[in-house]
Amino acid sequence: MLKSPEDVLRDLKKKEYAPVYFLHGEESYYIDKITTMIEENVLSPAEQGFNQTMLYGRDINMGNIITQARRFPMMAERQVVIIKEFQQLPDLAKEESSKILEAYVAQAQPSTILVLAHKHKTLNKNTKLYKAIEKNAVVVETKKMYENQLPAWIQNYLKDHKYTIEPKAVQLLVEAVGADLARLSGELDKLCINVLPETPISEALIEKYVGISKDYNVFELQNAIAQRDRTKAYKIIAYWEANPKKQPLMPTLSLLFGYFVKLLLASQEKDKSDQNLAKVLKINPFLVKDYKAALQNYHQQNLLWAIQLLRMADLQAKGIEAGGDNEAEILKEFVFKIM
């Protein structure tokens, strides 16, 4: 049975358990969150000693897993068996192992909760094994989030903790942290610890508690370039040059490259309505006005030139092409040429 991560977490909070959970996909955050919730909450501390087993895929085989799963709990209603890094199981691809697991999930031990955490990729859905698991177990597939999905995720996360956040602060977090949900949740937890619920989370609070500057971040550099504000762009680069750990070059070039690619896509769209551009570019509708403003300063030829310059900067940063002596010089050269 396919379920969303949110539905499974709600079921677990209500103490509604399934005999088998199969968690797989590229995004590890929800796999870890569901696994941890089962690990910490299903059994009492006294019950865990005899009835909770934690194993890692690389150290066992399918037979070991099923042997553990078929055991009866000791002085408890149920036992928990968690297999982390299930994708590393040495015999996972073998037909005999698949048949063993297929047979188990078809008639799972009702007093066992078996959790199979298959991280970083999905199991092949065309196999008999996957079809048997989908039919008889709770299956959660976790996918990487697109950038335009992150603002809603941040707002919902904070809403669950009784907090609110300002739109610019949301974008600052998205630009600085990206789609790493584990890191993003960690930064949000840090804010919740230090800020009162009745105080909306602002850029200033993010700068204070997360360490991301509201004035000297890649989002502000992007805006300065979009507005052709050379003075502001050089000021930001000078700050990074004086504080080299604040903003490494390679992530900066990657973000700028993605930004100019999106601008190029936007420039080619006939329908430049806010709704359509947000959908095509996979960005928060709040940001569309900034992209439209940038298109007033950069036409298609300018955008193609910017992309070419960023590719050259990337090669310079990797030492493949001759260029600036340091990261700041490479960025300054890009800003000088694009403007």
DSSP string, 57-126: GGG--HHHHHHHHTSPPSSSS-EEEEEETGGG-TTTTSHHHHHHHHHHHHT--TTEEEEEEEESBPPPTT
Phi-psi region of 162 (alpha: psi -120 to 50; beta: other; left: phi over 0): left
Beta bridge partners of 113: 80
Q: Give the per-residue pLDDT at 325.
A: 63
Q: Say what the pLDDT of residue 322 is.
A: 65
Instruction: Please enumerate in sequence order all residues whose Cβ is within 8 A of that of 109, keeping only pairs 6 or more positions apart, or say none.
Output: 19, 69, 70, 71, 72
By the 10 Å C-beta count (0-12 exposed, 13-18 middle, 19+ buried), 226 is classed as buried
- Residue pair 203/166 in contact by the 8 Å Cβ criterion: yes
Architecture of domain 218-338: Up-down Bundle (1.20)
| Three-state DSSP class for residue 56 | strand
- Say what angle helices 230-242 and 327-338 make with each other, to 10 degrees: 170
In single-letter form, the type of residue at position 59 comes to: D
| DSSP tag of 263 | H
Quote the pLDDT of residue 131: 96
Mean pLDDT by 10 residues, the chain (339 residues): 95 97 96 97 95 96 97 96 97 95 97 97 95 97 88 94 92 83 92 94 90 82 93 90 81 91 94 91 86 94 94 88 75 90
Fold annotation for 147-209: Helicase, Ruva Protein; domain 3 (1.10.8)
Rg of the Cα atoms in the chain: 25
pLDDT at 318: 85
3-class DSSP string for 156-196: HHHHHCCCCECHHHHHHHHHHHCCCHHHHHHHHHHHHHHCC
Is residue 20 within 8 A of residue 108, CB to CB? The reply is: yes
Taking the CB of residue 38, how many other CB atoms lie within 10 A of it?
20
pLDDT value at residue 283: 83
**Please, where in the chain does CATH 3.40.50.300 lie?**
5-142
Phi, psi (deg, nearest 5) at residue 202: -115, 175
pLDDT at 266: 94
pLDDT for res 133: 97
Task: Give ranges for CATH 1.10.8.60 in the chain.
Answer: 147-209
CATH 1.20.272.10 in the chain is located at 218-338
**Cα 250 to chain center, whole Å?**
19
Q: Which residues contact 227 (CB under 8 A, 6 or more apart)?
A: 293, 294, 297
Shortest CA distance to 272 belongs to which of 250, 254, 292, 255? 292
Taking the C-alpha atoms of residue 94 and residue 264, their distance in angstroms, rounded to an integer, is 47
* Structure confidence by residue, pLDDT tens digits, 87-145: 999 999 999 999 999 999 999 999 999 999 999 999 999 999 999 999 999 999 999 88
Kindly report whether the global pTM for this prediction surpasses the value 0.85.
no
Q: What's the CA gap between 58 and 66, in Å, rounded?
A: 15
Report domain 5-142's class.
Answer: alpha beta
